[in-house]
Structure 1
Amino acid sequence: MLWQALTLQLGYNATLVAIGAMLLGIAAGVSGSFLFLRRRALVSDAISHATLPGVGLAFIVMVALGGDGRNLAGLLAGSAISAAIGLLCVQWLTRNTRLAEDSAIGAVLSVFFGFGIVLLTVIQTMESGRQAGLDSLLLGATAGMLRSDAILIAAGGALTLALTLILRRPMIMVAFDRDYAAARGLNIRQVDFATMALVLAVTVVGLKIVGLILIVALLIIPPVTARFWTDRTERVWQFSGLI
């Protein structure tokens, strides 16, 4: 069974899910490397927990409009918007208050996750009858993926990986020397935005596979492990993708 899984011989659906999960894992390892190099690993935790209110609100809106509240594309869109708002809140608190970034992350993480849990509780009392499986986004449910879900996740993972590889040089430059990068004409804010956007994309796409709690491990553990093996930046993100 293990050999069949590794050689993608378990059938069409299982192969599709495996490819989707593999692409997501590579994208998470590579994009997480640049977050690790920036010493902002905790930001991924805030982003992942901030997706939960978006999932709940997206479900409520889709049901209210007469649609299927469990439509994955709709849930991911809602979680992306919610995560983006959470990230903006962290940045605003860091720049405009006396809070350090770690304190701002803790505040945003707690508030958004708590609000998301409240929404899930409310959803369970709704009479739509379509709530089953919604809580799988907390811990993931690879076995319950549909073909359309796997294709969506594979496409999202592949696109995120491609964009990360294209933008890797400016992200590396900003990670190690912001002043030099600015002198070279790079827009630091745009590079920061691109880095956070890629991490956000991986987080949102990975909700169905590993859930919002474990996606942080998928982003951070590979680059941390790779760092033990090499001192070269290029090797760090390459090893992270392989892990």
Structure 2
Amino acid sequence: MMTAQSPLSSKPLVMARHPPIQTLLSLPDELFIPILIHLDIPDLLAVSRTNRRLRRLALDTQLHHLRLNVYIPLRLITYLSLRPTEHDLLTRHILRSPLRLAHRFHAAANGLRLAFARNSLRRKLALRPQLNELIQRGVYPATDARVSPVLAMRCKALEREKVRNLLEQELKDRIWERIRSVMGRREKDRQESVRVLVRRYSQRRRDDNIGANIFEKHRREVREAPTRAKVYRLRLFFERISRSQKISVAVA
């Protein structure tokens, strides 16, 4: 008598074989090099800290030679060709022209100055006295507090006009006084100049007369005085006479 067997028990259980799992570390070095070329220095440093094989590949001189001489120039050329123009940067407000920079700097400086002035005015306005206190101190007239602003402005305008007229009249008086003093000084100088001229003329005439008298007196003295030759001959004559008289007295 045959017993029924289940199909599972009739066939032996066999495990299915799957292909081995391919990991990144199972790749050869020739495939790692093109991948590591695209990494920067910080990324290569992080990769070198994982295991020894990646550390050896990250420190390979051929890898760095390819990075510096082949990949980086190509990447720079690609990036430079893809970068936007200056006009695009200006339209997208990424770059600013020198005029816009100057305007922005001026606006910022002006805004800062206005903010300082506003804060200063706010502090000063907070410290200013009230109208009643000004009226009590006598700074603000009490009558203006009960007068309408239009009439107060008209009264102030009339007061300013009155003060201006007084100052104008005083200025005119000072100007005319100055003119009269200048004219009087000029007339006095003119009279003094005439007196000085008369005095100089009379002094010159007097000096001329004195000089003429001295010259005439000298000429008269010269005319009356004997010449030196005449005096010398007279002296010789009288000496000859005196000698002859002495000789005659001696003979007698």
* Shorter-chain TM band: under 0.3
| TM-score normalised by the chain length of structure 1 | 0.18
Between Structure 1 and Structure 2, whose CA radius of gyration is higher?
A: 2
Greater relative contact order, per chain length (Cα 8 Å cut-off, separation 6+)? 1
